[in-house]
Amino acid sequence: MRKHLLTTLLCLVCSFVGVKAQEDAIGEQYSSLSADSIVAEVGLIPESLDANVDSLFRTWHVQYFSKIDEYCHDDVENVYFPDSIYVQRLERLPRIISLPYNKVVRDCIDLYAGRRRDLVRYMLGMADFYFPIIEQILDKHGLPLELKYLAVVESALNPVALSRVGACGLWQFMLPTGKSYGLEINSLVDERRDPLKATEAACQYFKDMYAIYGDWNLVLAAYNCGPGNVNKAIRRSGGKNNFWDIFPYLPRETRSYVPLFIAANYIMNYYCDHNICPMQTNLPLATDTVMVNNMLHLQQVAELLHLDIEQLRALNPQYKRDIIPGNAKPSVLKLPAAETYAFVGKEDTVHLYRAEELLANCIPLNATDRAMSHTATKEKITHVVASGENLYTIANRYGVTAKDIRKWNGLKSNRVPRGKRLKLYVDNGGVSFASNQSPKDKEKQPVTTAQTTSKEKPGDVKTADEKTAGKNFISYKVKPGDSLYSISKKYPGVTTSLLQKANGLTGTGLRPGQVLKIPVG
């Protein structure tokens, strides 16, 4: 309290002595920004600032591992400081990118320190986990470390953040841009959600844009709206190449982007002066990775290693359906360091555990076949729209674009009614999904059904069991160690449920020497 009174008195004195001259100088330096334009544009904030903080606080990081720092003074109200204090603090930050101060920047700082204090608390907690990862990659590429604060603006450090128009991950890549920078995006895997690989892609983008503009503020603007819009703003400004000079000519949503980046630099360093306490977390900062060479479900790993499934998902956010397609190519599984050796020791057991149940409808594609055929993983499916879904959420689920879905289905808008059947052509990531639901189950929930031929119409979709009617059979003699799942993997299009139906089995138990009928043809 005493500190706050002294601060308030200092502010009152400074407001009459010397500060006005400094503020006038700031105003002259950015005279191109009229008061009207500032008021009009600051209201345009990124979606990250509209994030549902209550939802973020219920994530695995917070729900299971949060703690309170009893020595930090937290408050619900922001602390007032004169402009001169902000100028001095920004000048003290170690930086390569210029961090100027003006009315727009002040308003953005006030936004973080005022209305979005809870979000700042969350981001400060997540920074302990994600900033070391990001800093290491930025340093490897020789890029300014303060670029890490762009992830604050883009996603509020939420690796699975999804925007209303389909941008995803810490760095909010759109699907075409992500793919152009080497990120794998399909119905199983979305590497935009992988902090390591997405940061590598972001670094490549930063380097490409800096080679064009040679100015970091323009690079940031290009990251938000694309180089085409930045080039257009430069032309309209008469060839000027300073962000603040082209400010009025940029898209409206981009004008507050650089000021928000500067504000993020400020608030992530001076949060304590504004009586904001970080959300303290006991995250497993020590992690290690293992390579998986067969299809695997995260639930198999979680149950046998006694890990929380939400913890595994948080460490491996790129796997959208909890399935690691190691059958298609060696795939990374990140684990708490203490559990790595346990996984290696139990790997064979992990792969067999509950495989018939958790991977029952999964048909793995052989890695060799996938390598030989570029179209091997292309699959035509039908998606039935569920309540609350739109083209962007559906597109993100399957690793396609909303534009593609509109084209495939002759749609003129992104609005789709509940129950509508959409035809999609997806990359299944090396694992095809065959539905074995009953008609009654299909009525209860939306389904995605694999189709085997492009001639079938959406209204003619059949379940995998129905498609086996009239097929021929071959015999297979069960060997020691065989299971329905391991046998089904030997025959494309065959699932454990098909084997059970073809052989009249009520369970999954087998005995060596038993002869099974395998539906083929």
pLDDT of amino acid 206: 97
Continuous segment of H or E residues that includes residue 236: helix 227-236
pLDDT of amino acid 503: 85
For residue 177, which amino acid is it? T
pLDDT of amino acid 172: 95
- The encoded tokens of residue 123 equal 């981001």
pLDDT of amino acid 25: 38
- The encoded tokens of residue 286 equal 């020590």
Strand, helix or coil for residue 430: coil
- The encoded tokens of residue 35 equal 């008061």
In which residue ranges of the chain is pLDDT below 50? 1-39, 41, 43, 372-373, 435-470
pLDDT of amino acid 521: 54
Write down the H helix ranges in 316-401. Answer: 337-352, 355-358, 367-372, 391-398
pLDDT of amino acid 282: 64
CA–CA gap between residue 471 and residue 464 (Å, rounded): 12
CA–CA gap between residue 220 and residue 172 (Å, rounded): 13
- Residues taking part in catalysis: 154
pLDDT of amino acid 100: 95
Strand, helix or coil for residue 459: helix
pLDDT of amino acid 440: 39
Q: In 495-521, which positions are buried (b, 16+ CB within 10 angstroms) versus exposed (e)?
A: bbbbbbebbebeebebeeeeebebbee
pLDDT tens for 288-309 read: 999 999 999 999 999 999 998 9
Among all chains, which residue has been given the structure tokens 């900033």?
Answer: 131
